[in-house]
Amino acid sequence: MSLYKDDKILKATEKRIINASYSKTDKKILFSYEADLFVADLSVARVFKHLGQLHRLRIWLDVDFPKANERGLKNLVSQIQRRKDLSPDTKNDYKRCLRQFYRWLLPDANPPMLSWINIKRKVGNSKLPEELLTEDDKVAMINAANNLRDKAFIATLSETAARIGEMDSLQIKNIKFDDRGAVLMVDGKTGMRRVRVVSCAPYLSSTYIHHLNYIIYTLRSQSGKLYLYSHGWYQTVLRMGSYHAHRQIFPKG
């Protein structure tokens, strides 16, 4: 994700906090915390993630941050744990963010604030080999896709094993075709990297040649640049994959 886009998302997050219905006291606290995160040399992306999470946590909490007692915070964590729209990793992120924030807000608390929070460590991949998609399954998903957008996206993710977030800032200029296929320049949490692709190159080339305004669902074309817009796009990808998987691979599932 580009620095310009990070700044834009941060400004949007700050605006949501300013326009929120909770107290000015908590808004002031959140912006003070934001400043200290920058002092700690966190990236813009990390800052807007923390700020966005705390904004949502404050909406779920029924009192100001400084007034919350242990019972209220346990109710908040319980609420997070019961949410079916959050993955286990996302739940851990919220709990980790909440604990870090309160240790900043109340540094002299003894014992440390929220020391009772249980954050499970992620241990490897819990999927069994037979639960993973085979090459035949992947080909079936690509063939089941009814437009070039989905075919290109499924084929590219399958071959590159890239993070979905690494596709977020992909532009046409980041795709270089050659006689062996193509080279993608992707930008993710570990920085810029080149990825050689072969089997998905024809799908990317077809999408490129046809100049579709959407390579991947909410993709738009402006001045020859193709951008993925992040609002709701991760959920869209999950729905897209599930749709094609059940349509072709598990039609009776």
Indicate whether 38 and 86 sit together in one domain: yes
The amino acid present at 59, given as its one-letter code, is I
Domain span holding position 65: 3-105
pTM, entire model? 0.57
Contact 185, 201 (CB under 8 A): no
Indicate whether 143 and 245 sit together in one domain: yes
**111 lies in a domain?**
no
Sign of CA pseudo-dihedral 180, 182, 187, 188:
negative
Contact 137, 97 (CB under 8 A): no
Separation of alpha carbons 13 and 155, rounded Å = 33
Indicate whether 96 and 138 sit together in one domain: no
Q: The CATH number of the domain where 148 resides is what?
A: 1.10.443.10
Separation of alpha carbons 86 and 96, rounded Å = 14
Indicate whether 50 and 139 sit together in one domain: no
Indicate whether 72 and 32 sit together in one domain: yes
Residue 14: band (very low, low, confident or very high) from pLDDT cuts 50, 70, 90? very high
The amino acid present at 92, given as its one-letter code, is N
The pLDDT tens digits of the residues spanning 108-154 come to: 887 777 888 888 766 555 666 666 777 887 788 888 877 777 788 78
The pLDDT tens digits of the residues spanning 213-235 come to: 334 434 444 444 444 444 444 55
Separation of alpha carbons 174 and 185, rounded Å = 5
Q: Which residues neighbour 24 within 8 Å (Cβ) at sequence distance 6 or greater?
A: none
Q: In 3D, which of 86, 84, 62 has the Cα closest to residue 74? A: 62
Contact 200, 208 (CB under 8 A): no
Indicate whether 243 and 137 sit together in one domain: yes
Indicate whether 87 and 142 sit together in one domain: no
For the chain, how many structural domains are there in total? 2
Q: How many CB atoms lie within 10 A of CB 23?
A: 15
Separation of alpha carbons 193 and 184, rounded Å = 8
